[in-house]
Structure 1
Amino acid sequence: MRLAITHETRYRYSPSVQIAQHVAHLQPANTPCQTVLSHWLQIEPEAEVRHHIDAFFNHRAYWALTKPHDGLMVRAHSELDTAVIESGTSSQSWESVREHFRYRGGRPGDVQSGFAFGSHHAPVHEAFLAYAQRSFTPGRPLMHAAQELTARMHRDFRYETASTDINTPALQALHDKRGVCQDFAHILLACLRSLGLPARYVSGYLLTQPPPGQARLVGSDASHAWASVYLPELASHACQGWLDLDPTNNRTGLASPGEDYVRLAVGRDFADVSPLRGVLQGGGSHTLAVAVTVTPLDA
């Protein structure tokens, strides 16, 4: 599937910002399930943008604005080909994966070990462990248990726009059984890590379908988030060991939940892959408007 994505962010400041530095994760990477055909980034006020690869192999852009400005516009546009990779399965039990990542002196570590620890937005806690254990029964294959946990979250939780924000703790969202995709990804991460399993946060986009008889609206889509769990048994598979899990839509798949998904960046949680963040000197209040458009080009 060929997709075009435009992600536009606009800030208005009052009073003006004097100096600012910004970091963005807005360029998709080439993965086993997607090939980036083109990408460009437009910024107003104009700035010199520098690019590099971060610790999680994401594309990161950064720039500085050294003159007073009362607004900021960042527009990222990407075109990609997406696909699903060959099927695969794993019978590896979740306990054996947990033991694989348990620290033992003198034994070589696994490069994915960092994803087994709690993080700010996805902490290890007994409440997450209790919720997850119903799916993770003794001896059960990790792949099957993770897929069932994803489906159970989809049944148990209610998607409710504006019911949470980035400062809402995952424990509160777990208790309330409501939130948005970001909350569900953090809860799933916390459940997996509380079991001692490595899991990572995935930011990206999902092609949505307009209601029957209605046209696709420009700017009406949104960023999406999901999680993935690591299966050492599949490290040499095309998925590189990662099983993607989207509890918002109850979709799972190796390396991607489907060809209608685009992966933007991966990290320990949202804090590692925020699409846009900055440090400002001056300013006061601000308004924010975000518009995302995902368009199929081969329809």
Structure 2
Amino acid sequence: MRLRVIHETTYHYTPAVKNALHLAHLRPRSDGAQQLLSHTLQIEPKPLQCDVAEDVFGNTRACFSLPFTHALLHVRAESLLETLAPPAPPPGPPWEAVRESLRYRRGAPYESAAEFAFPSPYVPRHDDFVAYARPSFAAGRPLMDAARDLMSRIHADFEYAAQATDASTPALESLRLRRGVCQDFAHVMIGCLRGMGLAARYVSGYLLTEPPPGQPRLVGADASHAWVSVWLPGEPDGEWFGLDPTNDRAAGADYVTLALGRDFSDVSPLRGVIHGGDHHVPHVAVTVEPVAGPVMVKNSL
């Protein structure tokens, strides 16, 4: 599947910002499930400096500075990708065996996935996560069977409510409320998996959504998305499989991975520090659309 993603963010500042430094994760990854064909990042006003580098998780990030007065910031990222349907995850070994493989033992080989079994800024370790997760993790149950059951329970038990939370809502609060958005669903599922001693990553990206029958596809009407990646052991470094508790399904060719991290704090699409601009509300517009036929390939930033 060939997909075009356009992600636009606009800030209007009152009063004007005098100085700003921003960090953006807006360039999709290239991996086994997707190939980035082209990418452009446009920033207005033009930054004095923009440095692009890879972070510790292999994501591409752009750090740009605006050390001058400006009343508006507009960031537009356009990406073209070829996506493939990932293989269906096998049931895997019993979840207890996977947990044991991630535990530290002196002299044992280092397992890189273990860093995603620890607490992170937005997902602390807490008994409430364990209590919610436990019904899905019967003794000897294959890991992916248990993870899918957990995903389905979150989908059934939690209400999708756009105004119930915001980007800073702690995962424990989302668990208590039993409501939120895709970010909250992902954080809760990650907290449950890590509470059981398992490795889970936060995935930031996009999902192709189809308009209702007879309705046109609306430009800018889509949204960024988040889901969970669960680790299964294997050679050489194991495998990661995407599960989406918001939609109760595995990630497929209609998903675009933007960035991977421990939680949202690692992969926020756009964040920054500003001097001034006391009153500002971001406007975000996302378009995900299928593309047919030949395309012009271009890359910048």
TM-score, length basis structure 1: 0.94
Paired residue for 1:241, among 236, 239, 242? 239
Following TM superposition, by how much is the alpha carbon of 1:151 offset from its aligned partner in structure 2, in angstroms?
A: 1.1
Q: Alpha-carbon deviations, 1:217-270, whole Å to 9, x = none?
A: 00000000001111113x459xx5101110000111xxxx11110000000000
Long gaps (5+) in structure 1: none
Q: Aligned residue for 1:184?
A: 185
Q: Aligned residue for 1:7?
A: 7
**Cα distance in structure 2, aligned partners of 1:63 and 1:167:** 23
**Cα distance in structure 2, aligned partners of 1:100 and 1:9:** 42
State the secondary structure of the residue aligned to 1:154.
Answer: helix
Q: Aligned residue for 1:24?
A: 24
Greater Cα offset, 181-190 or 85-94: 85-94
Task: From the superposition, tell whether residues 112 and 49 of structure 1 become closer, same or farther in structure 2 (CA, over 3 Å).
Answer: same
**Cα distance in structure 2, aligned partners of 1:286 and 1:141:** 48
Paired residue for 1:279, among 257, 273, 298? 273
Q: How does 1:40-119 map to 2 (within 5 A)?
A: 40-47=40-47, 48-119=49-120
Q: How high is the sequence identity, in percent, across the aligned residues? A: 54
Q: How does 1:93-242 map to 2 (within 5 A)?
A: 93-233=94-234, 235-236=235-236, 241-242=239-240
Q: Aligned residue for 2:299?
A: none
**Cα distance in structure 2, aligned partners of 1:287 and 1:169:** 21
**Cα distance in structure 1, aligned partners of 2:35 and 2:92:** 30
State the secondary structure of the residue aligned to 1:112.
Answer: helix
Q: Alpha-carbon deviations, 1:152-184, whole Å to 9, x = none?
A: 111111111111112222112112211100000
**Cα distance in structure 1, aligned partners of 2:92 and 2:20:** 50
Q: Aligned residue for 2:285?
A: 291
Residue type of the alignment partner of 1:68: T
Following TM superposition, by how much is the alpha carbon of 1:287 offset from its aligned partner in structure 2, in angstroms?
A: 2.1
Following TM superposition, by how much is the alpha carbon of 1:108 offset from its aligned partner in structure 2, in angstroms?
A: 2.6
Task: From the superposition, tell whether residues 88 and 248 of structure 1 become closer, same or farther in structure 2 (CA, over 3 Å).
Answer: closer
Residue type of the alignment partner of 1:168: T
Greater Cα offset, 211-220 or 41-50: 41-50
Following TM superposition, by how much is the alpha carbon of 1:37 offset from its aligned partner in structure 2, in angstroms?
A: 0.6
Q: Alpha-carbon deviations, 1:84-106, whole Å to 9, x = none?
A: 13445243111111111111223
State the secondary structure of the residue aligned to 1:92.
Answer: coil
**Cα distance in structure 2, aligned partners of 1:113 and 1:104:** 12
CA contact (8 A) 2:25 2:59 kept: yes
**Cα distance in structure 2, aligned partners of 1:67 and 1:164:** 33
**Cα distance in structure 1, aligned partners of 2:255 and 2:85:** 10
Residue type of the alignment partner of 2:119: G
Greater Cα offset, 102-111 or 65-74: 102-111
Greater Cα offset, 51-60 or 160-169: 160-169
CA contact (8 A) 2:89 2:144 kept: no
**Cα distance in structure 1, aligned partners of 2:262 and 2:176:** 22
Greater Cα offset, 1-10 or 115-124: 115-124
**Cα distance in structure 1, aligned partners of 2:83 and 2:113:** 25
TM-score, length basis structure 2: 0.94
Following TM superposition, by how much is the alpha carbon of 1:11 offset from its aligned partner in structure 2, in angstroms?
A: 0.5
Long gaps (5+) in structure 2: 294-301
RMSD value, Cα: 1.4
